[in-house]
């Protein structure tokens, strides 16, 4: 079993839709949770960062972490064609046994105009 599982998609939605992207993980020591956006053939770009459990909002993006269920989500409101990209979740137990960033395989999102 992989430490981080992410549905690869592809996920296709109409412009304006609410998008939900999810990851599950197995290592209960993970404390730092991130979402990266990667456009085709470009480097991953840090979108959201959350420490421990809870919600964090930034514009149209909301990140949620549920440590009891080992489940994290990224919501995109009013999705735009420019949101079309691969979204990677990442997490770590910095300072712990893993001490490195573990990435999901990424979900490919296409927002149709």
Partner 1 sequence: DSGVTQTPKHLITATGQRVTLRCSPRSGDLSVYWYQQSLDQGLQFLIQYYNGEERAKGNILERFSAQQFPDLHSELNLSSLELGDSALYFCASSPRQDTQYFGPGTRLTVL
- Which stretches of the chain bind partner 1, using CB under 8 A? 32, 34, 36, 41-46, 49, 51, 88, 92, 94-95, 99-106
Cβ 105 to partner 1 shortest distance, Å: 4
Of 17 and 108, nearer to partner 1 (C-beta) is 108
Whether 96 and 38 have beta carbons less than 8 Å apart is answered as: no
Of 79 and 106, nearer to partner 1 (C-beta) is 106
Of 55 and 99, nearer to partner 1 (C-beta) is 99
Alpha carbon distance 79, 14 (integer Å): 8
Q: What is the DSSP letter of 100?
A: S
Q: Which of 61, 77, 82, 67 lies closest to 23 in space, CA to CA?
A: 67
Of 11 and 17, nearer to partner 1 (C-beta) is 11
Alpha carbon distance 19, 14 (integer Å): 10
Cβ 83 to partner 1 shortest distance, Å: 19
């Amino acid at each position: 079993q992989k430490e981080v599982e992410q549905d690869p998609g592809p996920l296709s939605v109409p412009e304006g839709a609410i998008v939900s992207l999810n990851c599950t993980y197995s290592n209960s020591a993970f404390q730092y949770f991130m979402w990266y956006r990667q456009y085709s053939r470009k480097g991953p770009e840090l979108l959201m960062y959350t420490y421990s459990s809870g919600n964090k909002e930034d514009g149209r993006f909301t990140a949620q972490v549920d440590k009891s269920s080992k489940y994290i989500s990224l919501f995109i409101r009013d999705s735009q064609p420019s949101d079309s990209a691969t979204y990677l979740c990442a997490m770590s137990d910095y300072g712990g046994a893993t001490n490195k960033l573990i990435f999901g395989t990424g979900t490919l999102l296409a927002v149709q105009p």
